[in-house]
Amino acid sequence: MRYGEKKIGKAKLEIWDNPHPERDYDISITFPEFTCLCPRSGYPDFATIRINYVPDKKIVELKALKLYLNSFRDIHISHEESTNKIYAELQKALKPRFIEVIGDFNPRGNVKTVIRINSGDTLLNSKKT
């Protein structure tokens, strides 16, 4: 097993203290090389995962997040389940003021899927209108 595979195999989210919990600010993270396996066919699925959040007391460490997202590459999981799992684990660990996770999956069989989950109305939603 190569060192990268070992790191991915031990991947878990690492949470840090927010250096500025007194103010609202947006954190946007894009992970353009997300992969997982189709639970039906076993073929790989490819996506861009976008995470947008307004932290409260905690933030996510980026290298740990990268390894965590890479850990999905050998899992047979649907687009909906993978996006919801990422959302749920970040929501639980960070308890942010707002969070949105978007799974923008590449077309397969001429079908494109975008899964969007967010924690509801707050700062980021009010900016969209």
What is the CATH classification number for the domain harbouring 52? 3.30.1130.10
Catalytic residues: 38, 45
Q: Is the pLDDT of residue 129 over 50?
A: no
**Strand 15-17 vs strand 111-118: parallel, antiparallel, or unpaired?**
unpaired
Task: Tell me which of 32-36, 46-50, 59-63, 106-110 is least confident.
Answer: 106-110
pTM confidence score? 0.90
Residue pair 47/105 in contact (Cβ under 8 Å)? The answer is yes
Provide the domain count of the chain. 1
- CA 116 to each of CA 7, 11, 12, 13, 127: distance values in angstroms, whole numbers, following the listed order: 28, 24, 23, 21, 17
Phi/psi of residue 90, nearest 5 degrees: -70, -40
DSSP H/E element including 59: strand 58-60
**Strand-by-strand arrangement of the 44-54 sheet:** 27-37, 44-54, 98-108, 111-118
Residue 60's domain spans which residues?
A: 3-128
Which of 106, 107, 104, 65 is CA-nearest to residue 86? 65
pLDDT of residue 4: 87
- CA 68 to each of CA 34, 88, 120, 126: distance values in angstroms, whole numbers, following the listed order: 10, 13, 25, 30
Percent share of the chain, pLDDT over 90? 84
Q: How far apart are CA 66 and CA 113, in angstroms?
A: 22
